[in-house]
Amino acid sequence: MTTQKLVVIGGSAAGAKAAAKARRLNEFAEITIIQKDPDLSMASCGYPYYVGGTFDNRNMLLCTPTGVVRDPNFFQNAKGIKALVNTEVTSIDREAKTVRCANTFDGTEQNIDYDKLIIATGSVPNMPPIPGRELEGITTLLSMKDTDYLRKIRDEGKVRRAVIIGGGLIGVEACEALQESGIQVTLIEMLDQVLPFLDRQLAKLVENHMQAKGARVLTEKGVKAFTGENGKLNGVTLDDGSMVECELAVMAIGVRPNSRIAKDSGLEIGQFGGITVDQHMQTSDPHIYAAGDCVEIENLNVGGKTFSPMGDLANLEGRVAGENAMLGNCTTFPGTYHTGICKVFDFSAGSTGLSEKMAQRVGLKDYTTVVNASPDKPGFMDAKLVISKMLISTQDQRLLGFQCVGPGDVSREVAMAAMAIQGKLTIEDLVNADLPYAPPFSLAIDHFIATAHIMQNKLKGRMTGISAQEVWEKVSNGEQPFFLDGRSPQEYEEMQLGIGEKLIPIGALRKRLEELPQDKSQEIICFCKISLRGYEAATVLNAHGYTNVKVMEGGIMAWPYPRKK
């Protein structure tokens, strides 16, 4: 095999993975990683957990599974890869096939030749020109430098109040890290919900949990200015004129592709500002590949390109780029279904595929949704609740989207859904899915399969569902359906919605039908704790001639709005 020169710009997830894959395929290639920062192969998704004290050894963000730190010596000795840290690429000469780089300490410059080049320059944080942003105490959480700064604040214990600006993945994880460190956190989000990849009902459940853990969440609020004294932050002024006092502010309003070096060299740039690549991760220059947060990839949900800065995708893209740069275009990366998950105190929140609001945004009309709430395993095995929302195409009954929140095993449910979407499985495939079962791990009918069962009942006309959000809108608009609560009196005393519901336990329903509206066409909405008994009540009423019976999907456990008890 002929000697090749491969240069990789960027030494984090995508760059390090690309270089390592290339080395495994060609022992004799000259491989060089050029990294602007002092660290290599950083586990950036672990930053919030180091800040929050989940672990205290900083090297765990940089080391292999066996505990060896991935520094230049490691790359040289273990992989035969030359890694230049504290070195910034300043230009690419595509005609000469060289990169020019400079040492960030002394400015020393050098040119490095390449046969193939991989750009993995990552992303940069969005930092709008908010007045006062130069004050001490304002940071992001995107780099090891940011992480060290926030960890130092945690360890010193001098900061009492912090503001997180942005309620996406980084913002929510930073909120948990600081709140768990004993700092009072206020999270400010311009949208009407946190975690925009979720639909609003499930996002509201997450927000309620954050509030219950002591964090303050302000939605539909923008930041007008940072205020300070003697150069130090002391507050954030909101667009309504109110002020939140704080000594620390974390900007977490998203990132954008770090594609400047590619743009300056004349490579094609996409609509989101990322480097344009094909499924081989090849750029508009056949000798240059790109991977990670600096690129745009295929949106497998709706078509076209998308910007998806996720750590797992960066590794997968880097692997493909490294293989193709070394062996020619022999493998592909298809794109993303936008699968993701995050920890939110004692909750997890995950999704894959299309949300309902995304379906509406792209004009998709032929779809049906269902919400399900149930334990993740039997009660005698320390069961925890999970609440999910499934979206399917009514044209071919194919699964299009799934989201799940709660203290239970959300990761399992989202992972199954992600593979079902990728495999283009239909409801008929899912209702009899052969999944592993034992009480320590799941119910006999797993939550995911049960959700498919509920969807099948809807599609076959055996159940008419209504979401908690639709019920809340009816109540807010002054509508007065007949609300039938099928739980026991003891459950009712412990927890009530307080929306005018009538308690008739499911076991007594057939004997108390006279207590229901005499007009059998009046709207009746049945529910219970998770609405299994609500569904059973609906089947009884339908059998007795009631024609406008609905089941509130997910029951009380999926209700994110104020309640009486």
Q: What is the DSSP letter of 555?
A: G
pLDDT higher than 50, residue 286: yes
pTM: 0.95
Is residue 21 scored above 60 in pLDDT? yes
Q: For residues 116 and 289, is the Cβ–Cβ distance under 8 A?
A: yes
Residues 6+ apart with CB under 8 A from 98: 92, 111, 112, 113, 114
The reply to whether 353 and 304 lie within a common domain is no
* Gap between the Cα atoms of 317 and 303, Å rounded: 18
Query: What's the mean pLDDT in 353-366?
Result: 96
Q: Give the end of a domain, one of 253, 272, 289.
A: 253
- DSSP 3-state assignment of 316? helix
- Report CA dihedral (504, 506, 511, 517) to the nearest 10 degrees: 50
Same domain, 437 and 470: no
Same domain, 77 and 52: yes
Q: Is the pLDDT of residue 469 over 50?
A: yes
Q: Read off the pLDDT of each residue in 465-478 and give the average, rounded to a whole number.
A: 96
10 Ramachandran zone, left/alpha/beta (phi>0; psi -120 to 50):
left
**pLDDT score recorded for residue 3:** 77
Cβ partners under 8 Å of residue 311, min gap 6: 13, 43, 44, 45
**Is 420 inside any structural domain?**
yes
> Are 509 and 426 contained in the same domain?
no
Q: What does the pLDDT look like over 37-60, one tens digit per residue?
A: 999 999 999 999 999 999 999 999
Question: In this structure, are 474 and 512 located in the same domain?
Answer: yes
In tens, the pLDDT along 237-264 reads 999 999 999 999 999 999 999 999 999 9
Mean pLDDT of the chain: 96
Cα-Cα-Cα-Cα torsion 553, 554, 556, 557, nearest 10 degrees, comes to: -160
Q: Read off φ and ψ for residue 89, nearest 5 degrees.
A: -75, 125
Same domain, 360 and 310: no
Contact 100, 93 (CB under 8 A): yes
In a domain, residue 531? The reply is yes
Whats the size of the chain, residue-wise? 565
| Helix locations, 231-347, DSSP H | 260-264, 311-327
Domain final position from 202, 227, 253 = 253
* Cβ neighbours for 118, distance < 8 A, ≥ 6 positions apart: 6, 7, 8, 9, 15, 18, 19, 288, 289, 290, 291, 318, 321, 322, 325
Q: What three-state secondary structure class fits 155?
A: helix
Domain count, the chain: 4
**Is beta strand 5-9 parallel, antiparallel or unpaired with respect to 116-119?**
parallel
Examine the fold and report which residue of 437, 459, 481 is the final residue of a domain before the chain moves on.
Answer: 459
Interatomic CA distance for residues 324 and 278, integer angstroms: 12
Whole-number Å distance between alpha carbons of 297 and 306: 6
d(CA 15, CA 443): 42
pLDDT on residue 1: 46
Q: Phi first, then psi: give them for residue 112, nearest 5 degrees.
A: -125, 125
Helices in 460-548 by DSSP H: which ranges? 468-476, 489-494, 532-543
The pair phi, psi for residue 522, each rounded to 5°, is -70, 145
**What whole-number distance in Å separates Cα of residue 11 and Cα of residue 4?**
19
What is the β-pairing status of strands 502-503 and 482-485?
A: parallel
Q: Is residue 47 part of a domain?
A: yes
3-state secondary structure of 60: helix
Q: pLDDT (tens digit, 9 = 90+) per residue, 415-433? A: 999 999 999 999 999 999 9
Owner of token pair 């919605």: 497
Domain membership flag for residue 129: no
Q: What percent of the chain has pLDDT over 90?
A: 99
CATH number of the domain enclosing 548 = 3.40.250.10
**pLDDT for residue 532 is more than 90:** yes
Find all residues with CB under 8 Å of 562, minimum gap 6, and list them: none
Contacts of the segment 445-449: beta carbons below 8 A, 24+ positions apart: 446/413, 446/416, 447/372, 447/374, 447/375, 447/376, 447/386, 447/388, 447/408, 447/413, 448/388, 448/412, 448/413, 448/416, 448/417
The reply to whether 420 and 492 lie within a common domain is no
523: containing domain: 465-558
Query: Residue 295 is inside which H or E element, if any?
Result: strand 295-298
Q: What is the pLDDT of residue 249?
A: 98
Question: pLDDT digits over 126-185, tens only?
Answer: 999 999 999 999 999 999 999 999 999 999 999 999 999 999 999 999 999 999 999 999
Q: Within a domain: residue 214?
A: yes
| Domain identity same for 438 and 492 | no
Report the alpha-carbon distance of residue 561 to residue 25 in Å, rounded: 56
User: Who's near 418: CB < 8 A, 6+ residues apart?
Assistant: 337, 339, 352, 353, 402
Interior/surface letters 137-168, b for 16+ CB within 10 angstroms, e for the rest: bbbbbbbbebbebbbebbeeeebebbbbbbbb
List CB contacts of 412: < 8 A, sequence separation 6 or more: 376, 442, 448
pLDDT at 2: 59
In a domain, 498, yes or no: yes
- 149 and 249 part of one domain: yes
- Pair (533, 442) in one structural domain: no
Label each residue of 240-268 as H, E or C.
Answer: CCCEEECCEEEECCCEEECCHHHHHCCCC
Are 30 and 5 in contact by the 8 Å Cβ rule? The answer is yes
Backbone angles phi, psi at 352, to 5 degrees: -155, 145
Mean pLDDT of the 359-365 span? 95
Here the CATH number for the domain that contains residue 54 is 3.50.50.60
Place of tokens 């940089």: 62
Q: Specify the pLDDT at position 565.
A: 77
Residue 486 lies in a domain: yes
Residues 147 and 220 in one domain: yes
pLDDT tens-digit map of 81-127: 999 999 999 999 999 999 999 999 999 999 999 999 999 999 999 99
Tell me the mean pLDDT in the region 359-373: 96
| Euclidean distance between CA atoms 58 and 40, whole angstroms | 13
Same domain flag for 314 and 353: no
Q: Is residue 340 part of a domain?
A: no
